[in-house]
Structure 1
């Protein structure tokens, strides 16, 4: 059963290849109009571009900024990193905080990220995916406020919203306000999936929300505050710089890949459905140039599939699953846009595993962590139809939809 917030609207995606910018000695992403795509819909104005709203709030303050390669201000034919833009306006940036994948967005998923110094400005870079995921008292010392500007993709297990939680919590404890420069959610046109059970809380799922939550990062921050999810129900001082000319149905193509293994719009659209495979013996294309657009395994006969690939180490995947092994599976890079979670591929490979790879366990313990519940694995193992599985989510999704309504900033 499908559960979509906007049942009568079709979202149009522009499927384009995107780049993450040049590699230079500088930490900041630099513009290159010959190779770098720019914002597709110029009518959508992201929070970072609305400097008239937030420069008065940051001028004269000692600030920290949570940022990565997606934290940019768009120009006519290129873009400038938010840090460079703020420095040009003489904003006193003391610290940059970097989430999973690092400040330049090149680290593997789950890879330990070290602190560092930006070679261009000398500003310290503090990792929020290294020794600590929550900013420490020492790391926040001397700061007047935090600016948070990260492009999210709208899936519960994408860890930027977990970093958001910990930044808000640390700042609330120190009475440091947080300014969020909001950006569109490329999967914001629907909500779907099982609701996370808090006994399965982890950094890839911290809150009782569905897999696809249908909110921008600014809206999500309001919900974290409003639902009392911070430790001891403390409240973070929030200022959201909203997106202009945006609705949850607005088609938005990301001009910069948000992490190494989400290289284009197709991968971003498939990600909520394919990430479940990270908790199985199936590859999602890490170690290829079609990350999160192909799925396969060396355990299956090619006769029952239509694609083969061999994962090898590359940027963002130093040790890909099934490295050096020929995998049989599916190429989904031309798949039609998804408006809900697709479980057909997951069920198909589970059944194939029973037929071709009886000695190979299909599910790993990580699957339940990603799903946020033990029920999904059991439902698949018990042979429930996809329709019945999705029907079991309906009550939770309806309750979530009601819960999220007060926090929405956009229609």
Structure 2
């Protein structure tokens, strides 16, 4: 099983101090002797800034919205936020679990059940299933809600929908919300089609682009100040910020944020290959290279020199095209993306002999946020032509986004 890149507490960069030696060998040698190591400041996640939020929890009844990524980093690894808070005598009443569950083991879309955490004996309340928003009863014995989940900056990744519904529930009953901020590995750009109001839902609750370029803390403030909560409500919101983070930071996630995003490559490709979720094409689920390849048994095999067979595995009990030889492309060596790419979905559609087998229209519309993208692909528009239709709404969103940027 592939694992994520190890957490980089400090990155050492070798900087060559070269003078304009004009080709003189003695000056080149002198420059080599002047090599030095420059320390790049460590990105500190908000969970590690305990002194900033612990006073807000003392003598309070606390609910925590968390999953396997909710950790405090240490020199020799990490501890879970919930465990650390319990050790500090914080009175945690409930843990709310998002999609994939508290320990992150459920498939995408799989019902997450209520239960009890075997390690802490705390009650676990699912926010993925019939109950996606905390009820007034579930918040009746809570003084504050602490939210700490690693996001990946893609609209249809459901953790931001959970955030919005938690904020909405808390606003309705007057319970404060504290968001512990974490870096966005896709936070360095804004791109993709913008969600249309009539298609909003759990895969996109607000009219934002596919990739929105905000940390989860910045996005929480946007939700609040733009009055996107039901009834124009407003949560009592506190965001604990990151240290030493910028939107240009190339952040390596130490823990997979969900079962089918195993590494940096899958996370950077997810905005583009995630669109395959609304089609019958397999995007690597059922392999060890989720969101790093795509293919299907019904694509034209003569157009591809790569194939694979999806099988049930961790994170995908019943992958699309299970047990079938899929013809497609291997993207595991891709570099960090700076835009949403339509290259691969256009390629797959072009090489699908029976076009009726391609789209799952309702699901694709929910992922794209608009029915227009499917119509454009079916009409044979190029990537450049499609992207040109995104521009106006992207520019409009960037103006709103600018108001909520907490980091350079």
TM-score (ref. length: structure 2):
0.90
Deviation at 1:122, TM superposition (A): 1.3
Over 3 Å counting, the alpha-carbon distance change for 1:192 and 1:114 in structure 2 is: same
Q: Does 1:381 pair with 2:356?
A: no
Aligned to 1:245: 244
Q: Counterpart of 1:273?
A: 272
Unmatched 5+ stretches in structure 2: 11-40
Superposition pairs for residues 199-218 of structure 1, below 5 Å? 199-218=198-217
| Whole-Å separation in 2 of the counterparts to 1:47 and 1:75 | 13
Q: Larger strand proportion, structure 1 or 2?
A: 2
Indicate conservation of the 8 Å contact 2:6/2:252, yes or no.
Answer: no
* Residue in structure 2 matched with residue 138 of structure 1 by the alignment: 137
For 2:16, the equivalent position in structure 1 comes to none
Match of 2:6 among 15, 33, 37: 37
Residues 125-159 of structure 1: CA deviation (Å, up to 9, x unaligned): 10000230000111111100000000000000000
5+ unaligned residues in a row in structure 1: which ranges?
Answer: 1-15, 20-35
Instruction: Name 1:400's counterpart in structure 2.
Output: 397
Cα 1:115/1:363, change in 2 over 3 Å? closer
TM score, norm. by length of structure 1: 0.90
Is residue 299–residue 348 contact of structure 2 (8 Å, CA) maintained in 1?
no
Whether the aligned pair in 2 keeps the contact of 1:48 and 1:72 (CA below 8 Å) is: yes
Q: Is the 8 A contact 1:38 1:79 kept in 2?
A: no
Q: Verify the 8 A CA contact 1:37 1:78 in the aligned structure 2.
A: no
1:284-318 per-position Cα deviation (integer Å, ceiling 9, x unaligned): 01111000001000012333113111111111111
Structure 1 residue aligned with 2:3, among 7, 18, 43? 18
Partner of 1:188: 187
Give the superposed CA RMSD. 1.4
* Greater relative contact order, per chain length (Cα 8 Å cut-off, separation 6+): 1
Q: Would you identify which runs of 4 or more consecutive aligned residues in structure 1 move more than 6 Å?
A: none
Equivalent residue, structure 1, for 2:233? 234
Distance 2:167 2:222 in 1: 12
Write the deviation string for residues 246-271 of structure 1: whole angstroms up to 9, x where unpaired: 00001100000000000000000000
> What SS class does the counterpart of residue 193 from structure 1 fall into?
strand
Shift of 1:39: 4.2
Is 1:108 aligned to 2:107, yes or no? yes
For residues 378 and 358 of structure 1, the distance between their equivalents in structure 2, rounded to whole angstroms, comes to 13
Shift of 1:359: 5.4
Does the Cα contact within 8 Å between 1:281 and 1:364 map onto a contact in 2? no
In structure 1, distance between residues paired with 2:326 and 2:232: 48
Q: How much does 1:357 deviate?
A: 2.8
Helix, strand or coil: the match of 1:350?
A: helix
Aligned equivalents of 1:148, 1:359: Cα separation in 2: 42
1:365 CA displacement: 2.0
